Chains A and B, each alone.
Chain A
């Protein structure tokens, strides 16, 4: 330390100067933390709490909010449309998540062994993830068109299979939209799985091979168990994604959002319509509270089930 700095430090007599080194460190830490903390409080937590309050009012954007107790929830649970939407949301989740996880694992598992053009193939898989959901949804909407313009139906016709209605069917529309969502997120999941696979020490595999373990046994005894943290992360992440699905549905059915006959409508779209088409903010807030509860419960349950023992 030079004389000059010593003099300067001694010259400080304010509050800051009297603080010890570790106290200063704490102050600085909090000073930096304050920004994200403030952000989360103002932009995340406050609106969340506000939504809880709103759900007990009849606010419609135009007139002052009036407290109505649990009326919104009573109305919601008595609404057959809500239960339809509830079933749809879980259909996206229960069908979508396992398919997405198994598919992305399989691709990652084999891609990991490909050495020729590995980076290029990986980039191809990742590309959809970088594309805007709305643009993608419109391309898929065109794929699903009936003849003569629909690409998939043209392929079916070429293979001698009758044309399918896809988005115009109450049974096929939901799976059709789900496929696009799985495809859109596949790239991300593959990358995460690849990273997980690369993180498993090669020596484990070498040891297993020396011990004469087959490929199947290596997969089930070593690879899958050691990938558990990655899998847990992706299951939770993908579940939340499917529970919050919106862009694909809205853009692929924009003539009759969530249709036909509500067969593709997820909870988030119902919330959007209640809030921004019917302006029933209180009722929409009650729906968001229900969605929040579902998301929270499922995420916690998954973390608990897949926890490391």
Chain B
């Protein structure tokens, strides 16, 4: 049997080689610590983080940070699969609404109270940072916060005889402006919409977190455990939202496939979107656009403040943990926030960095920053499932003519079940 011993010998050689390789690898970290940072793919965010990492590495020669990115749709799955495989990143980005899932799954660890002092965090950051706090412990810090506003196409305003420097301030004015800008052909097909509708992206948030409150209701109970929008206000808000398409006929879901695509193409007068869209819209060359605070109803303004935070992976220990803490502190520093604002357009999470004279007066950032004053950040337990409930509710009114009251009631029951399930865990 000449074959087998030869095979065994080559196996031994291979194993020896691997061992030597492993030795060489383990010799490395003594000189430099490498930590991984994970976030999802969004061009401007990745570019901004690359720049932050470069600056961090220059200031901390002993640490290298490897940025790993995944498509948004896969991102959570990758994190959870990595946790199951024992290969979690040291620092990761997560939506504030995922925190409960991540704590339950032991993906993240609480921040050391010595390094990240709660009192300091609360005095420096905007109050919505407390959404990262559980049982008195912080689990992560945001670099940037996001609010929503109304983007509008100044050229289309002018063409429709509206004053491009006086965007709508109330919901009624908004509908009137949308009507003025809508163009339909002889067959009734939209050639241009007054209002770009996009349920799956931001409109579900606009309805649930903003319109409901503007019409005098609440989205959730104060402790976040009960759905509160099955009310007169919830029904009024849904009637208002769906009337864009059903009554006023100033827009249509899926026109140009996506709301932001319609706006970019110059075929939509207005669109509700978040700070994260600014960088992308800044590349528009074919028309001028502006931003204004979301229109009010009965004098009431509301907004939805949310954010992606950075947290430390549960498995990080020793020198990797120390490096991760240093890096987290750096990405939450004023310096990183300034880079983030420039590159991504998201608002700095520290008051002092955000609320500068220059930012407040900025025609683009101003409306978003002013909204931070009255923005609410409701606790979310299962963002994906909650989002789906709102999408289905709006679709059932638009596509199946379900009465608004029934649609709101069904959605409230479904979402309550989602909240209860998360609580039971």
Residues of A within 8 A of B (CB): 14-16, 60-63, 141-142, 145-149, 153, 157, 162-163, 167-170, 254-256, 259-262, 276-279
Contacts and interface: CB of A to CB of B under 8 A. Distances in A.
B395 A261 contact: yes
Contacts of A279: 77, 80
14 contacts: A61-B84, A62-B84, A63-B104, A146-B189, A147-B185, A148-B189, A148-B190, A163-B187, A168-B253, A168-B254, A168-B399, A169-B399, A261-B392, A261-B400
Nearest to A276: B77
A62 B1 contact: no
Contacts of A254: 73
Contacts of B391: 256, 259
Nearest to B384: A277
Given A259-B391, A261-B396, A14 B1 contact: yes
A62 B200 CA distance: 28
Contacts of A255: 198, 200-201, 254, 258
A256 B394 CA distance: 12
Interface in B32-64: none
Contacts, number: 84
Nearest to B391: A256
Interface residues of B, number: 41
B93 interface: no
B389 to A, nearest CB: 12
Nearest to B256: A149
A170 B399 contact: yes
Nearest to A138: B257
Nearest to A278: B385
- 5 shortest A-B CB distances, which residue pairs? A62-B105, A147-B189, A255-B200, A276-B77, A260-B395
B255 interface: yes
B85 to A, nearest CB: 10
Nearest to B192: A148
B264 to A, nearest CB: 13
A148 B184 CA distance: 10
A259 B314 CA distance: 36
A141 B187 contact: no
Contacts of B190: 146-148
Interface string B68-112: 000001101100110110000000000000000000111100000
Given A148-B189, A261-B392, A62 B83 contact: yes
Nearest to B185: A147
B381 interface: no
Contacts of A15: 1
Nearest to A16: B1
Contacts of B201: 255
A294 to B, nearest CB: 25
B303 interface: no
Contacts of B76: 277
A160 B257 CA distance: 23
Interface in B388-411: 388, 391-392, 395-396, 399-400
A55 to B, nearest CB: 18
Contacts of A141: 257
Interface in B327-373: none
B254 A146 contact: yes
Nearest to B80: A61
B191 interface: yes
Contacts of A147: 185, 189-191
